[in-house]
Each structure stands twice: as C-alpha cells, then as structure tokens.
C-alpha cells in the first residue's frame, strides 16, 4: 500500500513562490493501479517525484508498503534507492551507448542496489522476458522501436523487483496507435505482477481505460478520487465534469425537491429533474452537466418532461451521430445512435435521465466535498480489479 498524507511542496523561482502540491492526500491499496490525472502544471510530477524521494517535500508524510519513507514532522527522508520503487519517466532515459542487456543490468551493478555478479544474467533475462524483449539482449538500445524502448525502460524499472512502480507519462513519446496498444499491455503486465502502481497522465482516456482508481488533480490539490466510472458519472464539480469527457453545461435554478436526492431545476430551455450531491435549497443557482450520450432524441412523440429543440447540425461519424441542437437559447450536443434520421432544421424532442443530469454549484463546490477512497472500502472488495 502507498499512503500519502498532506503532501506540501512549494518551489522557489527567483522571488516567486510556486505552490506545486498543496496538501495532497491519497491511499493506493496494494496491487492496484492508481492514476494521478490532471492538466499540465497541476502537480502530478511533483507528487510522484516526492514519493520516489527525488524531491523533498515541505510537509506531509509518505508511507510505502508499511514503511515511513518521508515525514517532515519526524525528520524522516529515506533516499530514493532505498525506497523499493521502480520508476519510468516521460523520456525513458535509456542509455543509448549501452546494449539492451546493460541497460537493464545497470541498476543491479551500482550503488546500494548492487547484487552478486553471477545473479545478474538471470535477473536481467527474467525482466526482459516479463516485457517480451527476450532475445534482444545484445542489441544496441537505440536499435529498438519506440514501443520496444518503452518496454526496455519498464524492464529496467522492474529488474530490482520493486514493491511500487511509478510511471510518469511513460507513453507520451509513442504515436496514438501504439499508445493504445501499450495501455493494454502495461495494464496486463501490472495485473500479472500484482505490483502497486502509480501512473501519471494528462490524458483522461488513458486514465479511464487503465485505472482501478483515478485521482483528479487541479492546482496542486486532489479534487476527486474514485473509480473511472464514478469520476465520469458522478463528477463532484465543474472542473471534473469539464476535464473528463465532453459535456453540456446548462445554467439553472433549483425549484424544489421531487424525490430521493432529485430536484426540479428551471433552465432557459425548460424544467429538468436532476441529481444534486449533498442536496440543495430552493432558489439556489446551479450548473447542470449532461453528457452528450445521455440525451435521447425523439423524432415524433414527446416523452414526459422532454424539451423541444431544433437541430442545427448533424455529423455522421459511423459509430454515432453527433448532433448540435438548440433548446430555447441553450446550445446542446447529443451523441445519437447511427440509426437516427434527423436533418438540419428539424424540430425534435430531447429526453433526459434524472440520474444522469448532475447539478452542481456554479462556483464548483469546495474540494472538501470530494469523497475519499479508504482502505476499508478496498478491504471490503469494492475496488475493482
Ligand atoms: N524545479 C522547479 N522549479 C520551479 N517550479 C517548478 C519546478 N518543478 C515544477 N515547478 C512548477 O510546479 C508546478 C507543478 O509542476 P509539475 O508537478 O511538474 O506539474 P505536472 O506534472 O502536473 O505538469 C508548475 O507550476 C511547475 O511550473
Ligand atoms: Mg509532469
């Protein structure tokens, strides 16, 4: 398990103080794949490098596999090579002048990670087999394809059999197709090894596809932690909903409760029944988030509570039809099934599913509202594998 508690790191840039991590806390249950996701500059790398011991935080505690490796309060700062971690960076930092074998053997030959000479060939071969590079031991590292170099970096990170694997945007140098393939490969390998992994990316699709748990970061803080499904379907605020996938944001005002955690919201396009986390008072302003795939278009009959809308644009994408519409003055985007036949200028009806209409405070709501994933949940077997 990895536990990060109230991690604070501020950089000094000339006169300016740059708060890179401002109280980051999370737990990664043993063997799980955990992703720090967020826009560039939000503090992902700082957090990961602090866990690795490459940065010394200003405050907080870090525990790896039951061992306290950093605590400002208790004056603990274990050096990186004694933390039992393997790490792969964005630029995999492969040594171009070395063979594949020597690249992987390097961590076994230096410093305190050194192992007896005769053990090295076996361990290197095992690490290379794990990433399916067997047989390429003698090849110069530069004579590998992009995907192979990425796997070589992974073999080097795994050769000392670390308890925790840290990956910082390891695929950003690969082309889109290879990246998608490596996603599956890396995840299968991680699952096979059962190694606790923290993955850093700014790519939301990657985060959703690979992770057991995602922590979304914004300006040095974690805004929400949850399973990919929770993050996508139950965003806690506007930042999350905007960052993950695409969505329609409709301003409105709460009219009153209509059921269990459901509220009637008045909007410029018509009334809408919405879910509101933590409840809401009548008269309060909200922003309603509705995903394009959660709206259904009806050509003839008007379902209960449906809005009338005009089709502005239709783009056929094969797997779906991307429709732009307006309801009242409100622009909306809808992803419809390809069987739908609508044309520009058509009048149609739009139906919504209350659970899929998420109303949030316009200011975004405080991050403290974010539910925390606890190890208790994990031990009850609720964290998906
Ligand atoms: N060595 C440094 N000196 C000064 N500022 C830094 C340094 N490293 C990172 N920062 C700043 O800290 C913030 C967080 O950076 P980083 O952790 O690299 O974000 P991310 O990995 O999410 O893109 C950014 O504003 C960045 O410019
Ligand atoms: Mg980074």
Q: What are 182's two structure tokens?
A: 């490596």
Contact residues for 128 (Cβ-Cβ < 8 A; gap 6+): 100, 101, 104, 134, 136, 137, 155
How far apart, in whole angstroms, are the C-alpha atoms of residue 57 and residue 218? 18
For β-strands 85-88 and 164-168, DSSP reports them as parallel
Is the beta carbon of 40 within 6 A of some atom in ligand 1? yes
CATH 3.40.50.300: which residues of the chain? 2-238
Q: Do 352 and 294 form a contact (C-beta atoms < 8 A)? A: yes
Q: Which of 219, 225, 198 has the alpha carbon at shortest distance from 35?
A: 198
Q: Which residues, in sequence order, are CB contacts of 355 under 8 Å at separation 6+? A: 275
The listed CATH number (2.40.50.140, 3.20.20.80, 3.40.50.12780, 3.40.50.300) that belongs to domain 249-362: 2.40.50.140
pLDDT digits 0-9 by tens, 77-108 = 999 989 999 999 877 678 888 999 999 999 99
**pLDDT at residue 96 in the model:** 86
Distance, CA of 100 to CA of 139 (rounded, Å) = 6
How do residues 115-169 score in pLDDT, each as one tens digit? 999 999 999 999 999 888 999 999 999 999 888 998 999 999 999 889 999 999 9
To test the ligand 1 pocket, which listed residue (46, 166, 167) has its Cβ within 8 A of the most ligand atoms? 46
Please check whether residue 123 is in contact with residue 111, taking contact to mean a CB–CB distance below 8 angstroms: no
Pairwise CA distance, residues 365 & 237, whole Å = 6
Dist. CA 21 → ligand 2 center (Å): 12
The whole-angstrom distance between residue 132's C-alpha and the CA centroid of its chain comes to 27
Residue 146 phi, psi (nearest 5) = -55, -45
Residue 199 alpha carbon to ligand 1 centre in Å: 17
Q: What is the 8-class DSSP label of residue 306?
A: P
Average pLDDT over residues 174-180: 86
Name the maximum alpha-carbon separation found in the chain: 77
Residue for token pair 């890396």: 186
Domain with CATH 2.40.50.140 in the chain: 249-362
Q: What is the pLDDT of residues 56-82, one digit of tens each?
A: 999 999 999 999 999 999 999 999 989
Q: Does the C-beta of 359 come closer than 6 Å to ligand 1?
A: no
In this predicted model, what pLDDT tens digit does every residue of 286-331 receive, in sequence order? Answer: 999 999 999 999 999 999 999 999 999 999 999 999 999 999 999 9
Q: What local confidence, expressed as pLDDT, does residue 320 receive?
A: 94
- Class of domain 2-238 (CATH, top level): alpha beta
- pLDDT band at 364, cuts 50/70/90? low
């Amino acid at each position: 398990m990895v536990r990060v508690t109230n991690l604070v790191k501020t950089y000094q840039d000339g006169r300016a103080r740059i708060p890179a991590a401002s109280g980051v806390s999370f737990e990664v249950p043993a063997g799980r794949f955990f992703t720090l996701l967020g826009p560039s500059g939000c503090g992902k790398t700082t957090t990961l490098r602090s866990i690795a011991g490459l940065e010394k935080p200003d405050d907080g505690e870090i525990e790896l596999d039951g061992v306290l490796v950093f605590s400002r309060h208790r004056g603990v700062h274990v050096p990186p090579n004694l933390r039992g971690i393997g790490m792969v960076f964005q630029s995999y930092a492969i040594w171009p002048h070395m063979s594949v074998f020597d690249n992987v053997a390097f961590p076994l030959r230096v410093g305190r990670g050194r192992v007896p000479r005769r053990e090295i060939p076996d361990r290197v071969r095992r690490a290379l087999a794990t990433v399916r590079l067997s047989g390429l031991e003698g090849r110069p590292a530069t004579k590998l394809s992009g995907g192979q170099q990425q796997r070589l970096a992974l073999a080097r990170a795994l050769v000392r059999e670390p308890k925790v694997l840290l990956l910082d945007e390891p695929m950003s140098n690969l082309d889109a197709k290879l990246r998608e393939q490596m996603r599956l490969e890396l995840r299968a390998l991680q699952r096979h090894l059962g190694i606790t992994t923290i993955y850093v990316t700014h790519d939301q699709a990657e985060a959703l596809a690979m992770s057991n748990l995602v922590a979304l970061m914004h300006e040095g803080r974690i805004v929400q932690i949850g399973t990919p499904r929770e993050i996508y379907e139950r965003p806690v605020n506007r930042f999350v909903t905007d960052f993950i996938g695409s969505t329609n944001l409709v301003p409105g005002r709460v009219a009153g409760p209509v059921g269990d955690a459901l509220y009637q919201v008045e909007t410029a396009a018509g009334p809408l029944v919405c879910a509101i986390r933590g409840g809401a008072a009548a008269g309060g302003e909200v922003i309603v988030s509705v995903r394009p795939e959660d709206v259904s278009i009806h050509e003839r009959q008007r379902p209960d509570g449906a809005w009338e809308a005009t089709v502005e644009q239709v783009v056929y994408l094969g797997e779906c039809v991307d429709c732009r519409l307006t309801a009242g003055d409100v622009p909306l985007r809808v992803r419809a099934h390809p069987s739908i036949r609508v044309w520009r200028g058509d009048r149609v009806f739009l139906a919504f599913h209350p659970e899929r209409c998420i109303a949030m405070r316009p200011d975004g709501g405080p991050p403290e509202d974010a539910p925390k994933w606890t190890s208790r949940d994990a031990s009850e077997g609720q964290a998906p594998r």
